[in-house]
Amino acid sequence: MASKMSLLLLFPYTNNPVCRLALDIYKDEELEIPEGVTVSVKSRIVHVKGPRGELTKNLRHVDMEIRVDNKKLRFVVWHGKRKHVATLRTVRSLINNMITGVTKGFEYKMRYVYAHFPINVHISDSKNGGKEVEIRNFLGEKVIRKVTLLDGVDIRISTAIKDELVITGNDLEKVSQSAADIQQSTSVKNKDIRKFLDGIYVSERSVLEA
């Protein structure tokens, strides 16, 4: 009787469950480490260092092998089911974003949208050392809406375009979450959103130039 591996070599695209089992024994992905970037992995805690700074990600909850091999990162899953194997590309993409962050950085642009009451935004330093955004006159309210940005995220009011905020940072997750927090802070409750469009919305996402 032919072995599992010989069946796999003869019929690589077969739906035979024996062959599919052999296919799922070992899955891997690779990621190139660019010049000027150092990556270290210890107990599935990934540390990435580059020209713009350092980022660390704890991936202990992910059951896979992550190792550095000749300027490449290798991600390996053994005996993984479909969902487990799918995490390979997810983790690879996450670390690739970390590398992009420490070499180039990420930028989100947000625009104020209002019909009658102009939105006023003030940026100040928060108590924890980060940035705090104060949103005034939203829908004519007297209340000041405040959003504290996550650590490592910077924000400024654009001087080139009216009613625009520019958010930058090395950590894509923190930059996107900070933008989401600002947008959520201006959500209109108990109103028809087809008519009440006032708010601050993400208008552009990009990678900063190196």
Highest mean pLDDT (candidates 20-34, 132-146, 182-196): 132-146
* pLDDT tens string 35-87: 999 999 998 999 999 999 999 999 998 888 889 988 899 988 887 677 777 78
Phi, psi (degrees; rounded to nearest 5) at 132? -125, 135
* pLDDT tens string 155-186: 999 999 999 999 999 999 999 999 999 999 99
The 8-class DSSP code of residue 127 comes to T
DSSP 35-90: TT-EEEEETTEEEEEETTEEEEEE-TTS-SEEEE-SSEEEEEEES--HHHHHHHHH
Q: Which class would CATH give 4-103?
A: alpha beta
For the chain, what's the residue count?
Answer: 210
Residues 6+ apart with CB under 8 A from 208: 104, 105, 106, 107, 168
138-147 average pLDDT score: 93
| Burial classification of residue 201, based on how many CB atoms lie within 10 Å of its CB (0-12 exposed, 13-18 middle, 19 or more buried) | middle
Nearest to 150 by CA among 138, 164, 137, 167: 167
List the CATH code of the domain at 107-207. 3.90.930.12
27 versus 10: which is more confidently predicted? 27
- Cβ atoms within 10 Å, residue 107: 17
Q: Please tell me the least confidently modeled range out of 4-8, 87-91, 116-120.
A: 4-8
CA distances to 30, 87, 92, 98 from 64, rounded to whole Å, are: 13, 9, 11, 18
Bridge pairing between strands 72-78 and 53-58: unpaired
Helices 82-103 and 172-185: crossing angle in degrees, nearest 10, is 90
This prediction has a pTM of 0.81
Q: Where are the domains of the chain?
A: 4-103, 107-207
106-119 average pLDDT score: 95
Q: CA 209 to CA 51: how far, in whole Å? A: 13
Query: pLDDT tier at 18 (50, 70, 90 boundaries)?
Result: low
